[in-house]
Amino acid sequence: MEMILIFLSLIIQQVFTQYDYTQNGDPAEFSNYMNSANDLYNELFTKRIYHKNLSPVYGKIPANGTRSPVKAMNVDLVLYYFRLLTLDAESQILSASVEIIMSWRDPRLAWNNTIFGEIDRIFLTSDIIWTPDNQIGNSKSMTSVHPDGLAPLTVYSNGTVVYPLIWYAEVGCNINVNRFPFDQQQLYLSILSFAYKTDLMTMTGKTKLDKNRLMGNGEWNIVDIDTASFVNDDADVVSVDDSAIMGFFLGTFIRLTGK
């Protein structure tokens, strides 16, 4: 009898949590989608008791050095937009507007889309899920476009999270002006995590820049920005005090003569 009552309670709850959006003039397809999305949200964040402050990084590494059946989390970084604002030799500071698209997989956020109206992705804000601490490492100051944690992100049914990060950053760099005004600078933009060792997290990086997403400032022309070193299966591990992983984007800047 108790099991029957629980079953009936679940059915009643399901019925009363559905809302008919067609009564507002919206199509039935939208109404079905929103109810399926609401069911999915409840599944991920209520039924599964998701805690955003609990990291999904697997910390149970075998002590004997054998390979774990659970892979280290990989954080992929795509440099999508770079606009140089200033490159100041006196202060040794580069300031720029930067967009990096960061993605990773959180198994706790995966679902079977056939159960939830064939929904293969949902759109959330970054304040409700765990996010990696990967960020620009050699920055003097960094301001996010979404400082309140309400940045939009996309979660896919396999648990992959895609998170665009937009920053205004002032980055310390080594600028050599011995050949002024015909100098060319090669400067690093480092990305690092201080929270996880290299056996717990890896990083991969690439650029996706074209002339519309790679901009100089009138004094400097950006020849290219490419990946220099990232932690992955094919590259050497870069660590800081055995507690941080680091990757680099390398930019080449040529001063426009007569400026």
What pLDDT, on the 0 to 100 scale, is given for residue 236?
A: 36
- Count up the domains in the chain and report the number: 2
CB atoms within 10 A of CB 108: 16
Q: Which two tokens stand for residue 129?
A: 């899920």
CA separation, residue 184 to residues 98, 99, 175, 219, 246 (Å): 21, 24, 9, 12, 25
When mean pLDDT is compared over 5-19, 30-44, 186-200, 228-242, the highest value belongs to 30-44
On whether both 21 and 91 belong to a single domain, the answer is no
* pLDDT-derived band at 256, boundaries 50, 70, 90: low
Residue, of 60 and 179, whose pLDDT is higher: 60
On whether both 180 and 232 belong to a single domain, the answer is yes
Expressed in angstroms, the distance from the first to the final Cα of the chain is: 85
Q: What is the pTM of this model?
A: 0.80
What pLDDT, on the 0 to 100 scale, is given for residue 26?
A: 80
pLDDT tens-digit readout, 67-122: 778 888 889 888 888 888 887 777 888 888 888 899 999 999 999 999 999 999 99
Q: What is the DSSP letter of 218?
A: S
| Inside any domain, residue 171 | yes
With 70 as the cut, is the pLDDT of residue 153 above it? yes
Q: Which two tokens stand for residue 183?
A: 């100098």
* pLDDT-derived band at 66, boundaries 50, 70, 90: low
| Inside any domain, residue 58 | no
On whether both 147 and 236 belong to a single domain, the answer is yes
| Inside any domain, residue 54 | no
With 70 as the cut, is the pLDDT of residue 199 above it? yes
Q: What would you measure as the largest C-alpha separation in the chain, in angstroms?
A: 88
On whether both 179 and 103 belong to a single domain, the answer is yes
Helices (H), the chain: 2-16, 28-42
| Inside any domain, residue 55 | no
- Average pLDDT score over residue span 118-133: 93
| Inside any domain, residue 65 | no
| Inside any domain, residue 166 | yes
On whether both 43 and 77 belong to a single domain, the answer is no
- Average pLDDT score over residue span 20-29: 84
Range of the domain at 8: 2-47
Rounded CA Rg of the chain: 23
With 90 as the cut, is the pLDDT of residue 162 above it? yes
Mean residue pLDDT of the chain comes to 77
* pLDDT-derived band at 157, boundaries 50, 70, 90: very high
pLDDT tens-digit readout, 55-65: 999 888 776 55
